[in-house]
Structure 1
């Protein structure tokens, strides 16, 4: 049966492509900044109330059980998102596939509680794992409701859900932590986050899936989704092999330090990249047949990320030790150096994400899988080797691995699409070298001056970075041109249609 406009859930046309992308990006940016602030507040408050060992126990469970998140979605959300003409029945079928996967994973993770506790040698992990298994059922039901909102460009609704869910969960977790519940507070926080998210997206989507039935067009969706799911599986293993190794070899306390540093440096970047992917893919799909417009759109999106994300990460990482000591207390000072290193690695994770957009928007999930089959084992081997030097060695090894991954990803994408994408390497390196890196070095030098108080180090570091940003803007034509272009994009967002 042919697809008709009446039964298709197409992405609605929304004026000019550039304006639509800019507006979607702006709404998403505001929502994700708010969400990240809530996450940072969560890290700060709970670190004051819960000891590092409890965070380590919780991270042990998530490092292993979290791989189920990949099988929960299997790439079907992105398959639905990039489809130009997704029928209502296809959408409903994907909902039932995701829900079934969620129920199956709930059973599997619950059953693995005892083996996981045996692996780490800590029986306390049994109850933690069993409770955490609930989130996979909730997540399976949620997935396609989020896709429905996304396809109709309801970024405001998605951002509202992304903010309210973690906020409610944080309030409850803080109350529990104040009453001495420790790791139980972290578990309840996770479950509530998923539960509130589910309720919100169901109410706002106003979409009722039909019962599953055979319909044409499912095979391409499943093929793309499975390929992307396999890629994400490999990526997840790589991203969490550090926590698994540290937890198994070095214990919960060291993992607690590493996990908090990761939550401050890397997790916000990872979280903000997925929502921007939701915005970027539909618009890249629309211009993918015009090579010049396509590459220009990629460069513009990357430029926004470099000036925002890379500059923040290098400044933030440069003054990591005083930040950690100020907000967590002196007991967490060991996480400072780890956060500095992880901030550097997070930059390359962000840059690599743009290459992933190329594969996704072009429907090249097979090529993306091959890339990951080659590069993810390289990163894993580097991290395993780095473990000889403790948590610092693990952090540096991961940073090197993601730097190599970024370079190879651009080369692979250029070959797969027959497009010249090397400007996606040269342009960010120039911006980072001129704009971001010097600011990071200034903050690191100031924050390393032990004769200054922690508060003075913090304030002087920010002041030094701001002075550098103004200075380089005044003397560099490229930086001035880029900043003015970014301001133009911002004005486009604010301008009424």
Structure 2
């Protein structure tokens, strides 16, 4: 496809779409954000009652569970979202595929539990993997009719599902951790979340399923590419957790996984909930590459614009943050947290590519991106992790993330003709904002009262981060203004903000 010109400020043919997408995203992000706050509270409780070795053990078990679940994941929601007219046969076929997936997940994880315990020389993995398998088995049984809300840009139900399941899980996790001080608290919390979530989907989207493959042809092509893509993606995502336990002890591995979980919270709370709204928005613009390009730029710049300030704060204030949240027994994880947070910032602009490829039915681009990442990551990881441990694994992540971003930009140019320079240009405002924010934190960092009491430490962290965030926002919107206020994510934020102000004035 030939290059398209960059979308101009007047290129918004359907202003209501941006509003509906933003509203849907607000519901979805709010739900996931609140759910992640609950997750974070659970993590704080667990870190106080459990040690790094407990986290390392459960992370070893979860690695195999995650890979199997991801490989066998089916993009049923996205397939149904693309269909203009949904029928009972489509819903029943979707349910049947989900049930088949659950049965296969159960069989595969049951077969893997014993070999994994031998591979890592850790007999506790056998019962742990067997129990953790309940979670992905349940997730395969979600009501397919839940997609009807997404098609109407109604993500309020997702908000309730996320918050309710995590709330129940938090109560269970806290109770088990306090009473037993056992790693089983981590496992039971994971299972509880899945059971409550799936049960509630049938409250909001009830259906009486029947088993059929009548509409299988609608799913076949995407499922084939999805299986390959998910396999490659899961290996790439979990490669460090697969390889590192062979070369380091459980304690440093537990510190690494806890730091990784902290870094993943902003991504999971902000980025992942936008997949549904982004898919829905992209799907309405398939016939207009120019408008689709404008939407892609907003997503590509908007996600990192929201997440990178959090990651930068974690990176530059890792020691006091860990001391406040987890206690001094976790301070040796601070260098890991710094390196992981900086590395996680690299890959964020490529986040919307799978959504774009899916709605265009060009999933092979996501598979090819995964293959490219695997080709770069696997040989380097095997060497670096064996020789340099955790730091070697993190360096490998940074190299692979850079390769992914470059490949993604060329893929987007091929898919919709969006020029590389336009993709990079959309990232400039927040990147300049990050530089200013980093300089502000560096200058104010001596104000952090480390080891002077938890509350003084919390206050001092706030006194450093708050002005840094103000500087960040100021630079981002100053750059946007100086460049002519183009129709980018900043434009959408300002437009929504003005709408809120007008409504408040009318009420006043």
Distance 1:135 1:466 in 2: 38
Distance 2:236 2:255 in 1: 19
User: Does the alignment pair 1:487 with 2:494?
Assistant: yes
Partner of 2:404: 405
User: Does the alignment pair 1:465 with 2:464?
Assistant: no
Unaligned runs of 5+ in 1: 1-13
Q: TM-score, normalised by structure 2?
A: 0.87
Q: 2:333 aligns with which of 332, 335, 338?
A: 335
Distance 2:380 2:373 in 1: 11
Q: 1:284 aligns with which of 244, 269, 282?
A: 282
Kept in 2: contact 1:172–1:189 (CA 8 A): yes
Deviates more, 1:50-59 or 1:294-303: 294-303
Partner of 1:255: 253
Partner of 1:376: 374
Query: What's the CA shift for 1:250?
Result: 0.6
Cα distance change, pair 136–433 in 1 and its aligned pair in 2 (3 A): closer
Kept in 1: contact 2:300–2:351 (CA 8 A): no
Q: How does 1:97-496 map to 2 (within 5 A)?
A: 97-142=97-142, 144-215=144-215, 218-270=216-268, 272-387=270-385, 388-420=387-419, 422-428=421-427, 430-444=428-442, 446-447=444-445, 455=457, 458-469=461-472, 472=475, 476=479, 477-478=481-482, 481=485, 483=490, 485-491=492-498
User: Does the alignment pair 1:82 with 2:102?
Assistant: no
Kept in 1: contact 2:91–2:144 (CA 8 A): yes
SS at match of 1:123: coil
Query: What's the CA shift for 1:487?
Result: 2.6
Kept in 1: contact 2:106–2:137 (CA 8 A): yes
Distance 1:468 1:69 in 2: 42
Deviations 1:457-476 (Å, cap 9, x if unpaired)?
A: 52342144135236536864
Deviations 1:50-80 (Å, cap 9, x if unpaired)?
A: 1111111100011122112124423333222
Distance 2:342 2:42 in 1: 23
Partner of 1:60: 60
Distance 2:483 2:261 in 1: 31
Kept in 2: contact 1:242–1:394 (CA 8 A): yes
Cα distance change, pair 238–473 in 1 and its aligned pair in 2 (3 A): closer
Distance 1:285 1:138 in 2: 29
Cα distance change, pair 145–39 in 1 and its aligned pair in 2 (3 A): farther
Distance 2:500 2:212 in 1: 40
SS at match of 1:207: coil
Q: How does 1:15-94 map to 2 (within 5 A)?
A: 16-94=16-94
Partner of 1:4: none
Deviates more, 1:476-485 or 1:186-195: 476-485
Distance 1:307 1:296 in 2: 16
Deviations 1:253-289 (Å, cap 9, x if unpaired)?
A: 1111011111111244045433211111122111121
Query: What's the CA shift for 1:292?
Result: 1.6
Cα distance change, pair 53–417 in 1 and its aligned pair in 2 (3 A): same
Kept in 2: contact 1:304–1:486 (CA 8 A): no
Q: Which runs of 4+ in 1 moved over 6 A?
A: 448-451, 493-496
Kept in 2: contact 1:74–1:226 (CA 8 A): no
Query: What's the CA shift for 1:478?
Result: 4.1
Query: What's the CA shift for 1:364?
Result: 0.5
Cα distance change, pair 493–424 in 1 and its aligned pair in 2 (3 A): farther
Deviations 1:131-183 (Å, cap 9, x if unpaired)?
A: 11112221111263543443343310111101111221111111111112411
Deviations 1:87-106 (Å, cap 9, x if unpaired)?
A: 32122102111111102211
Cα distance change, pair 412–213 in 1 and its aligned pair in 2 (3 A): closer
Cα distance change, pair 182–440 in 1 and its aligned pair in 2 (3 A): farther
Unaligned runs of 5+ in 2: 1-13, 504-508
